[in-house]
Structures are given as structure tokens and as C-alpha cells.
Amino acid sequence: MGPGKSPGKKIACTLRLCRTHRELEAFVRLQKRVFGLTDHETYPERSLVVMNKIGGAVLGAFDPKDRMVGFLNWLPAWDREGRYFYSLALGVLARHRDQGLGRAIKLEQRRLALKAGVERIQWTFDPLWVKNAFFNLERLGAVARQYIPNHHGELSPNTQAGLATDRLEAVWYLRSGRVKKVLAGGSHRRAVHAGKAQVTLPLDVWRMANEHPRRARGVQQRVRREFLRHLSRGLVVTGIQLGTDSATYLLDRYQP
């Protein structure tokens, strides 16, 4: 597989940077479909143009008929640790999920970052979406050091089911031993590893949010309190274990 080709288990998609009006328009449309966002919640074409211009990027995955079926965009960023990329929206059309495309898109982003001399990528994810958490922590090897309560303020009920927009911030150290090991198909865990702290939550918080909104808000508030307490002690979210009804985040000491 050369750069730009997805290693998809079933479909062959081509990955490419998007610059044309047609490609950027497709990106805006797909964001709405994948996330159920309203017009004012999506990244508009004019902001995508700026991302391309200032060292960020808009990456698309295209099916054999050249229809965009997956996407990722990012900004160049800078903090005390140095330069990094800040990812904004990653999405794959529902019928193309679980075929390796999301992973292929992130690997292409990693390749482009390293080519540009950037060794770290960050983004946020909702800790209640355990599938994303598993993908980020266990399949990509990212870690999370920060929990941000109600990060995006209020979003449409389509997107957030009435819950606050709490987010964990993923940090992906592209050249770390942990990431290299995970991407090579290994595990980042030691043989017996329960973490120094754990945060457990039920798998069905989203269904609960529709049927028993108060109960779901209670779960979110407890999860928020526990993460904030553990992270304030210097622990880092390094993994997640999925059970039949619940998921358990593992927190540990971590230095990249």
C-alpha cells in the first residue's frame, strides 16, 4: 500500500489533500451527515480555505467513484512543548465504518505530520463515546492528560443528546515507543496492568440520555468528577478496557 491508499479491510479508498472548491464543499456536506450538525456548527468552506493556507490541512477519503466518504481537518498549533497539529473533525460515512478507513486517515495524517517535522497531534473526544476512546487510546496509542468540562458549550440535541460537551484531550506522540508499538499491532500494556486509577462507565449512556436524561446526566457528572480528581494528581489516561455492559478507563503515570 503506497501513501494515500487506505489499508481498508473491504473497500479501496484513495486519500488525498483537498484544495478545490468541489472537494471543500463535499467536506462541509459530509460533516453535517456524519455528525448531524446544523449549518452553524460545521466548519464552513472559508475556514477550510484558511486551514490549507496556514499549514493545516483538509484530508479526504474518496471511494472508487470519487465520492468523499471520510474526512479529517487540522490546524497548525504551538504551545510550551513546541509545534503540533490540532485535529478538528474526523469522520467516516456510516456504511464505510469498521473497515479500517478511520485508522488509515489518521495514519496518513501522522505521515504528513512527520514529513512536516511535527511529532505531536492533539484533538478532543467525548469520553462517553467509548468506541472513539478505544480507537484513540488502544488502536492509535494516544493518551489524555486533560478533561475539559462543557468544552464546546451547548450543541444541538442531535449531536449531544442534551448532555454537556465534556471532552478528554487526546495527545498523540507520533514517535513515542508506545505509539510505534501500538501501530505495529502490539499492546501498550504491561502483562498485568490495572492502572493506578480507573474510571468506569456504562456502555449505553447515549441510549440512557434519550430514555432517562437525568440518570445520564448523573453518570456524566460522576465521570467528570472522577477524571478531574485523578488528572489533577498528575495521572494520565492511558487505556480503556471494554466489558459487556461497561467500559473502564485506566489512568497511570506517563512520560512520552
Ligand X SMILES: CC(C)(COP(=O)(O)OP(=O)(O)OC[C@H]1O[C@@H](n2cnc3c(N)ncnc32)[C@H](O)[C@@H]1OP(=O)(O)O)[C@@H](O)C(=O)NCCC(=O)NCCS
**Strand 246-252 vs strand 197-202: parallel, antiparallel, or unpaired?**
antiparallel
Build a one-symbol-per-residue string for 205-244: x at contacts with ligand X by CB under 6 A, - elsewhere.
Answer: -------------------------------------x--
Binding to ligand X by CB under 6 A, coded x per residue (else -) over 15-34, reads: -------------------x
Assess 134 for contact with ligand X (CB under 6 A): yes
> Could you tell me where the DSSP H helices lie in 81-149?
101-115, 130-133
Q: Is 152 in the site for ligand X (CB under 6 A)?
A: no
**With CB under 6 A as the contact rule, which of the stretches 18-26, 40-48, 51-59, 88-96 interacts with ligand X?**
88-96
Q: Does 113 bind ligand X (CB under 6 A)?
A: no
What CA–CA distances, in Å, run from 79 to 82, 86, 109, 121, 218? 5, 11, 20, 12, 34
In the complex, the smallest distance separating the C-beta of residue 127 from ligand X, rounded to whole angstroms, is 11
Binding ligand X (rule: CB under 6 A), the pick from 99, 159, 165, 248 is: 99
The torsion angle over the Cα atoms of residues 211, 212, 216 and 218, rounded to 10 degrees, is 180
Residue 103 sits in the site that holds ligand X (CB under 6 A)? yes
| Window of 97-105, 176-184, 211-219, 228-236 that interacts with ligand X by CB under 6 A | 97-105
Q: Select the residue interacting with ligand X from 60, 100, 127, 195 (CB under 6 A).
A: 100
Cell numbers found for residue 18:
483537498
- Candidates 131, 145, 151, 217: give the one binding ligand X (CB under 6 A): 131
Shortest-Cβ-distance residue relative to ligand X: 102
103-to-72, 99, 100, 213, 234 alpha-carbon distances in Å: 11, 9, 5, 32, 29
- Shortest CA distance to 141 belongs to which of 167, 106, 89? 106
